[in-house]
């Protein structure tokens, strides 16, 4: 039985891709927004122990050829994050407690969650957990906050790295593959969907 739901914040619920694109465009490098965002995902997926979030964002920017100011520009634009169009209806239909887990600092995590405009029961950040997903620490903390075993939690991931970590921790996983990325073989146990249209916690169970 599914007793709770847990969501990745910056990819599954919020269209952070557009925010990264917008900052890159302001820096006259419109074509680098997605490469920057993808590099950031790779860096956080291998970071393990938490280091300041904006340092990781800046390192990703540098790796793709964006100037050092990119990270501070992103922080300044942060409150412009907006939910994907399907998110409001999916959250409104929830009948179980829910949480969000994000590879963010405490400050940016709270600000991002506020952009969703939904009363989540818990917010877990990488800074608070002391590690970036897919390290087990954020998932473990989320399950503890929700008061459920991982097998009782429907987890909605926003990236293949996040889906892999959630599966390893025992959640019932749906990966919202919004950019139609190639599905790695190790995610065969996850439910893959392009949007949250028609999703419910019960559809995550195998």
Question: At 143, is the pLDDT very low, low, confident or very high (cuts 50, 70, 90)?
Answer: very high
Last residue of a domain, one of 57, 80, 103: 80
Domain that holds residue 126: 4-15+81-204
Last residue of a domain, one of 32, 54, 80: 80
Last residue of a domain, one of 61, 80, 99: 80
pLDDT of residue 204: 77
Same domain, 104 and 46: no
Burial class (CB in 10 A: 0-12, 13-18, 19+), 121: middle
Could you report the per-residue pLDDT of 47-79, keeping only the tens digit for each? 989 999 999 999 999 999 999 899 999 999 999
Same domain, 108 and 55: no
User: Is residue 144 pLDDT above 90, yes or no?
Assistant: yes
pTM of the model: 0.95
pLDDT of residue 202: 82
pLDDT of residue 206: 55
pLDDT of residue 26: 96
Same domain, 115 and 187: yes
pLDDT of residue 48: 86
């Amino acid at each position: 039985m599914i007793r709770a739901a847990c969501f990745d914040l910056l990819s599954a619920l919020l269209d952070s891709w557009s925010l990264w694109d917008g900052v890159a465009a302001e820096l006259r490098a419109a074509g680098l927004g997605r490469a920057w965002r993808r590099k950031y995902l790779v860096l956080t997926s291998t970071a393990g122990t938490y280091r300041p979030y904006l340092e990781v964002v800046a390192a990703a920017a540098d790796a793709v050829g964006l100037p050092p100011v990119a990270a501070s520009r992103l922080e300044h634009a942060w409150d412009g994050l907006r939910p994907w169009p399907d998110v409001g209806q999916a959250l409104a239909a929830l009948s179980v407690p829910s949480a969000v887990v994000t590879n963010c600092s405490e400050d940016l995590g709270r600000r991002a969650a506020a952009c969703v405009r939904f009363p989540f029961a818990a917010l877990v950040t990488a800074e608070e957990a002391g590690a970036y997903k897919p390290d087990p620490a954020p998932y473990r903390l989320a399950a503890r906050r929700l008061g459920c075993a991982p097998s009782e939690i429907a987890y909605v991931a926003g990236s293949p790295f996040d889906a892999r970590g959630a599966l390893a921790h025992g959640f019932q996983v749906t990966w919202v593959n919004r950019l139609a990325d190639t599905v790695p073989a190790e995610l065969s146990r996850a439910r893959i969907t392009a949007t949250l249209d028609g999703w419910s916690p019960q559809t995550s169970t195998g």
